[in-house]
Chain A
Amino acid sequence: MRGIKKIHIIGLFMVVLAVVLLLSASKDMSSYATFAQADTSSRPVKVVGVLAKDKEMYYEPAKDPNYFSFYVRDSDGIERKVILHDAKPQDFEMSEQIVVTGQMEQEHFVASDLLMKCPSKYKDEEISVRSDI
């Protein structure tokens, strides 16, 4: 058995530090939630849902180019108005699934980030037929 070297001590220290940092980093991690859980959460959460297409989608750039609101239905079927302080993303209506990151502020869910899953135009199992035939 060889003696313990300084380098081992430093290595051990780094491992401990890494564990500590990762534990504290896990606070940064958001968690998936429903709107019902988001109501009570004081931290930002991610809500997975679908766009409620029957509800109003509001984007009037002439009035405010940084305000877009829409309704999302979560996995429990609860619908909430979501506000995004940015331009309306392209192909938004086409989204199959939406992940919004943010917090409830009064009645609305204010999203800091939005991720859409779209049926890609380039992946679908369809064969386009030549238009000139």
Chain B
Amino acid sequence: MQEINYIGEHLAPGRLGQFFLVLAFCAAALAAVAYYFATFRKHLAEEALTWKKIGRVAFIVKAISIFSAIGIMFFMMINKYYEYEYVWSHVADYLPFRYLFPAFWEGQQGSFLLWIFWHTILGFVLLRWAKSWETSTLAVLSAVQVVLISMILGVYLLPEFRLGVTPFNLLRESEGMSNLPIFSNANYLSMIEGKGLNPLLQNYWMIIHPPTLFLGFASVTIPFCFAIAGFWEKRYTEWLKPVLPWALFSGAILGTGIVMGGAWAYEALSFGGYWAWDPVENASLVPWLILIGGIHTNLVARSTKHSIKGTFIFYALSFIFILYSTFLTRSGILGDSSVHAFTEMGLEWQLVILIALFTVLPGILYVLHHRSVPTPEKEESMTSREFWMFIGSLVLLFSAGLITFTTSLPVLNKLMDVYGTIVGQDVSSWHKASPADPISHYNKYQVWIAFFIGMLTGITQFLIYRGSNWPAKKRTFYKNTLFNLALSAVVSFMVNQWIKADTYGYILLLFSAVFAIVSNLQYLVTVLKFKWKASASIFSHVGFGLMVLGVLASGINKTYISNNEFAMRGIFSENDERLQTNVYLIKGEPLYMGGFLATYVSDTMIDHERTYRIKFDRLNEEKQEVQESFELTPFLTYNAEKTEMVNPNPSTKRYLDRDIFSHITAAPSRHISLAAAREEDDSLKYQTHNFRIGETKEIGGIAFNFERVIVSPVHKEYVAEDGDLAYGAEIVVWDSVTAPQSLFPVLAIKQQKYIYSYFDASNKLGVRIRITEEGLNKVYPDEQSLSYETYRQKLGDSFYFDDHKITIAGFDKDPVHPSYIAKEGDIAVAVRLEITTPDGFQALAKPIFLIRDNRTYMIRDYLPNLGLTLRFSSIDPNTEELELMVAKNNISDMEFPVEIALDAPRDDYIVLAAIEFPGINLFWIGTTLMMLGMLMGMWRKIRLPKRI
């Protein structure tokens, strides 16, 4: 095959970027090895120091390489180098700068880079402050880095085996693309445009959510590094202290990332909720739950030396589950069971190896060392704080296990298939599908788990480590606990007046959440005496309680206000709420629903968004008075070409105690996509009727009057361009009850070949009207068919043609005419001819006389409704006489075909879903407090290392 010299490609940045990736990979490997020896050879101070220095240099080289690769990626994306597949896939000309960030991490390679970036930053913190832990933790971190960088390396180890997929791949060399004919064109680059960012992600949440989540992901690695380091260096108890702030940091950030994902789903997607137990959501929740368990065992271990091994296992598991969630979301195994998952990229086996590697490593360490870990002789007593904290951690692990099981169904199915191939049997009938009702499936178990957690956080605060001095403290403990139980019962009863929980499970959960809040506050008051510095756990536990209350309030009382009880009555049973989620709103016609009068006021298209204004008037009980009015503005986002709607975006009215959430579930086809609108139009039964100008016909009980022909037509979808040939008509329609309404269909021929018909419709009458190309020939008569009469007149003169009085009123030196495009050097003059018809109507014609390149041209003016064509054929400079030519075609005798459909659907409606979420702010406040508590704890552990 012949080599092609492609024009305009920038190959240097890609090669440089690829170089940096390979360098980063090698440097990470070197750092891992050097730090390994620096740890392994610690007893040889000098050698260890040398290894450590090598490790540091390698780590810094790796860091610089990663930053450079990221910088080059951004450079390529800013400059829109579409020769690179990644740039082409995620960027487009129209994409504003701020969306380059989500475009960067939309794809697998970009998000891996983001993850590696955070690892590097965290690595620097270890390098600078971890002191004696630097070598061992960074050895582990560098090893993790090696494997992660390998995912984006894109280097062929064997001809058939490629390690990772590089972001610096050229489009013309990418799989499935390289054979496309466009790449045989050396100048292909000037012809292509990027695909751009998925519109669902063109949202500010997508600028902040992924970096937070990936910082969370990256930070889970650090407790894992410490756990490995602690066992490896046989410093079984020492690591428990430095790891704690890291674990708290990780818990706070990962938690925030997860909640931000919920906020994104709630604000930008039309799920109608913040949590859907989607496999991808679960995949990041599971490591977080285990990590929180780990933080608690860590606290226990640090105070009592119990559960050191437990802490090791918890931290290792939370990291393993981060890798497992990476596998679930990136291997394509979730397929269509999740909306979030990435598409396959051929990394499945590499991901499996990643998990296997970092499961085996801690596994071996544990087996080798677990007997050497110091364990207190005395068993935890049932009356000690550590006992119940450990139980709490186990409950969290238990919860994580249950969630993982259901989330992993696709993996289990796959494993069954593997077994099936081994025994040579078709096992596809064993396959299980995700629950028919996932939300109730998960809630059923998690309600009890949350109940236990709530109770434990309330009780355990009042217990003391090692249960020391229990006989003396017993009384106070029982007193406090009983007091809190009693107080919680009262408070729960009051709160439930609002939440109205009605099943045992929900009532108990409500009680336990209230108990968690009450007990922790009481602990803050009576034991801590408002020592804020020591109250980090109070924040987190009260936050947990509030979050549960928010979940209960918004979950149990989520109500669709978009149900019109009148429309539904008699069709469905009254309690079947599922059936009544959407209402049909016609523009300008108020509809009563769920306490509101809702009116679809208008819709406006700006850029790529069509915003609907929907007015809500809250009515009082008697539906007499309006108590409150507000507007919601859900909108539809369109693709770059504006030919298709891509995403309906919700709009929310916020109150302190609830939200009113609305989104559009269906809209007329012309708001959805051009193709659908065309298809719908094609499916209508149009019939052709011929009209003379001014004629009225009655068709199917509706009167149609062909009022006039329009030569410079206006239509909301028609954009007039130079060279268009277009006409329009005004047709008045009415029936016995509907007042006359003018419709303005338009027909245009663009670039002399493309015919566009723009219909107009009356929604009230269900009528849609089009005009045809045939009429165009009548509106613009052929020159040959016209017989002109010639007149020679001067300025100011009048003459008669066919009873029309024509006066030469003046000249126009800069003439404007639909079929005249001015050119440099033109001499063009239009004459203004005032015409009075026999009936006394006035009209104006402006034919043009043009000299271009020493040749003369005439541009005729045509008045279709009069049937007159006027030409300005010459001017005599001596006599100042103009030569004018006038012709008439008998348009009044002509018939214009009009296509009329009487079965047209309305195009001025929307289908709306509106949901009320009471107490949703408790959820946001609760989760925020939870994360804040962890950050406070972290801060305190860093600042006050000496005290507890």
- A residues neighboring B (CB under 8 Å): 5-7, 10-11, 14, 17-18, 21-22, 25-26, 28-32, 43-46, 59, 61-62, 64-66, 85-88, 90, 93, 97, 99, 101-102, 112-113, 115, 117, 121-123, 125, 127-131, 133
Contact = CB atoms under 8 A, between A and B. Distances in A.
A123 B345 CA distance: 12
Contacts of B337: 115
B387 A7 contact: yes
Contacts of B580: 66
A122 B406 CA distance: 29
Interface string B392-410: 0011001001100110010
Contacts of B193: 128-130
A105 to B, nearest CB: 13
Instruction: Pick the most buried of B431, B433, B571: most chain A CB atoms within 10 A of its CB.
Output: B433
Nearest to A118: B336
23 contacts: A5-B379, A6-B382, A6-B387, A10-B391, A11-B394, A14-B395, A18-B401, A25-B405, A26-B432, A28-B435, A28-B437, A28-B440, A30-B436, A65-B665, A66-B580, A86-B581, A88-B666, A99-B336, A115-B337, A122-B89, A125-B177, A130-B192, A133-B191
Contact of B584 (A28, A62, A130): A62
B391 A127 contact: no
A128 B195 contact: yes
A112 B436 contact: yes
Contacts of A5: 379-380
A79 B582 CA distance: 28
A25 B583 contact: no
Interface string B905-938: 1100101010000000000000000000000000
Nearest to B195: A122
A6 B390 CA distance: 12
Contact of A87 (B390, B409, B666): B666
Given A28-B436, A87-B913, A14 B394 contact: yes
A28 B441 contact: yes
Nearest to B92: A128
Interface of B: 89, 171, 176-177, 180, 182, 190-193, 195-196, 198, 336-337, 343, 379-380, 382, 387, 390-391, 394-395, 398, 401-402, 405-406, 409, 431-437, 440-441, 444-445, 567, 571, 578-584, 639, 641, 644-646, 648, 665-666, 672, 676, 905-906, 909, 911, 913
A61 B176 contact: no
A8 to B, nearest CB: 10
A125 B190 CA distance: 19
Contacts of B171: 127
A11 B571 CA distance: 53
Contacts of B336: 97, 99, 115, 117
A44 B434 CA distance: 11
A46 B391 CA distance: 38
Contacts of A102: 436
Of A10, A21, A28, A123, most buried by chain B (CB within 10 Å of CB) is A28
Contact of B406 (A17, A25, A117, A125): A25
Contacts of A125: 176-177
Contact of B648 (A88, A90, A101, A117): A90
B911 A87 contact: yes
Given A11-B394, A125-B176, A133-B191, A61 B909 contact: yes
Contacts of B567: 64
Given A31-B431, A112-B437, A61 B911 contact: yes
A66 B579 contact: yes
Contacts of B584: 61-62, 65
B394 A127 contact: no
A129 B182 contact: yes
Contacts of B405: 22, 25
B78 to A, nearest CB: 19
Contact of B431 (A32, A43, A122): A32
A66 to B, nearest CB: 5
A131 B398 CA distance: 57
Contact of B582 (A11, A29, A66): A66
Contacts of B445: 21, 25
Contact of B433 (A11, A31, A93): A31
Contacts of B666: 59, 61, 65, 87-88
A65 B583 contact: yes
Given A28-B440, A127-B182, 7 more contacts: A5-B379, A18-B402, A28-B444, A29-B409, A43-B436, A61-B909, A86-B582
A25 B405 CA distance: 10
B339 to A, nearest CB: 9
A87 B665 contact: yes
A129 B911 CA distance: 35
B691 to A, nearest CB: 30
Nearest to A22: B405
Contacts of A127: 171, 177, 180, 182, 192
Given A31-B431, A46-B433, A6 B379 contact: yes
B436 A101 contact: yes
Contact of A90 (B195, B398, B645): B645
B391 A29 contact: no
A25 to B, nearest CB: 7
Contacts of B406: 25, 29
Contacts of B379: 5-7
**Top 10 closest A-B pairs, CB basis?**
A87-B665, A44-B436, A65-B582, A30-B436, A28-B435, A28-B441, A65-B584, A29-B432, A87-B666, A65-B911
A47 B406 CA distance: 19
A62 B666 CA distance: 11
A46 B435 CA distance: 9
B402 A29 contact: no
Given A18-B398, A86-B582, A90-B672, A7 B434 contact: no
Contacts of B177: 125, 127
B679 to A, nearest CB: 8
A17 B645 CA distance: 49
Contacts of B644: 121
Contacts of B909: 61-62
A16 to B, nearest CB: 11
A113 B433 CA distance: 13
B192 A30 contact: no
A121 B433 contact: no
